[in-house]
Structure 1
Amino acid sequence: MAQDRVEAVERALTVLEAFDSPQEHFTLADLAQATGFYKSTLLRLLGSLERHDYVQRGADGRWRLGSSPSRLARRHAPSRQLATCIQPLLDRLTAETGETAALLEVQPGIAECRLVALPAADLRHDLRPGQRWEIATPEDPRPSLPGGTMECHLLEGDPHAPSLWLTLSGPASRLSPQRARHALDSAVARLHKSKEATP
């Protein structure tokens, strides 16, 4: 009802809705045009949203979504089902190889770590859920890893949904691309076998 409206919350949600667009980065002028708010009002709202990581401001001054919306989205049932299916696979992959196994979600221009299993080794690729990085092409979601290597395997899924990639990464001196690809192929084969066995 109208009396339940909190104006500041309504405005902040209006700002967040402006990011529901194929456009990845927004200038203050872009957001002012999309929301109809004055730039001074926008800066106050964006400041609060930034403190809670709902939005992030780049070095160029442009704005994009932060990691909090994705973190909350992972609480939905489909994501929990995904974790139930994939996390044991990642845990086994890490136990067998001693390297970092992860599930990446790829959207235009961005890759995000959704699930991860970390080895006990001190020297490792220290990847965390919610960690994001820019990518040049959706066919190669790997981040820059000086001294490290990452191999990826695209998982079959809904062509209209963000693509999911199973990855194995670690120090280049310890993890060869051939060994990583072999381990990923075996893991994907196990995943397919488990899906076929599920009624």
Structure 2
Amino acid sequence: MSNDGVAAVEKALALLDCFTEDRHAFSLAALAKASGQPVTTTLRLLNSLERMNYVIRSEAGTYELGHRLLYLGKLFERSFRLEAVVVPVLKGLAKTTGASASYSIAEEASWRCLYRVEPAEGLRLSRASGPRDFDQTATSDVIRHWGSSEPVFEQPPRLPIFKSGSRDAHTAAFVTPVFSAGNKFAGALTLSGAASTLEAANVTGEFVEPQLAAAANLSRALGASHAFCQSIYTPR
């Protein structure tokens, strides 16, 4: 069965992705420009979205998000389980790469690994460890830079971030930031393992595509926009 999707649905959802906390309303022309779609196409899609209450048209002629989205958001909020979203991604990444895959989050002046999957132990899942002080590891760098707005990197770094020997001489890691609703930082996706193995992978680039794809899929599942994920996770 094909999983190519339906182009018209994706175009309609792309219109909804244009709305942000800072931009609640659009004219037809502005929304067409923001989405990169022709005005005629944008109007047809908006008419369908308006009929289904996903957008509303004000008396001034601008378009805003509709009440149906609030209802769906509340359903999602009640049913959402972070583990159910993150762990399958970690298992898939660990199986593909043969490295340990983990997901970590920022806490006040520290960070914590919430989930880790070990490929050498049959994709065994381990849950939250205690908080860790910020250190010189790539995971800490990513959380400090994107989660705490510290200027760890002078220029936008190429993803994933790679470091070897930062914790000890025998381990290395690839780390990529993960984002959520509003394109806000959510956590760090880490591949870690023996330094010799990961240093070789850093030379070949074999872990780049699977890790960026996993981070993009996880970010979209957590609510980041498709356009934002494309801009962040497209390999350079």
TM-score (norm 2): 0.40
